[in-house]
C-alpha cells in the first residue's frame, strides 16, 4: 500500500498523490519515509522534498519554513512557501 502525500503552502495545495518514498531535509538532517514509518513530526530544514511515485516518476517541490508529519502512511508537508520544481 503506497503512502498518501500532501504538499501544502500557506495559500494552496501544491501537490497530492500516492508515493513509494518521500525524502525531505529536516533541521536534524535528511530523512527518507517509506510505508510503515513511525508517526513523527519534524521541522523542515528548507530545500527539496522529493517524492517517488509508484512506477518511478519523481516529483520535486521546494518547501521553506514549515513542518512534515507522518501518521498512518499519510505524509503531510506544510510550508509557508512551497512550489513544484519538477
49-61 pLDDT per residue, tens: 999 999 999 999 9
Measured over the CA atoms of residue 37, residue 39, residue 42 and residue 46, the dihedral's sign is: positive
Q: What is the pTM of this model?
A: 0.95
Indicate the average pLDDT of the chain. 96
Q: What is the mean predicted confidence (pLDDT) over 12-23?
A: 97
pLDDT at 61: 96
pLDDT at 46: 84
Q: What is the mean predicted confidence (pLDDT) over 42-51?
A: 94
Domains in the chain with CATH codes: 3-84 (2.60.15.10)
Amino acid at each position: 500500500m503506497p503512502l498518501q502525500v500532501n504538499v501544502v503552502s500557506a495559500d494552496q495545495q501544491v501537490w497530492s498523490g500516492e508515493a513509494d518514498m518521500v525524502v525531505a531535509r529536516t533541521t536534524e538532517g535528511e530523512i527518507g519515509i517509506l510505508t510503515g514509518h513511525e508517526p513523527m513530526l519534524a521541522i523542515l530544514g528548507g530545500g527539496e522534498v522529493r517524492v517517488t511515485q509508484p512506477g518511478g516518476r519523481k516529483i520535486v517541490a521546494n518547501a521553506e519554513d514549515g513542518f512534515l508529519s507522518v501518521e498512518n502512511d499519510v505524509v503531510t508537508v506544510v510550508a509557508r512557501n512551497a512550489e513544484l520544481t519538477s
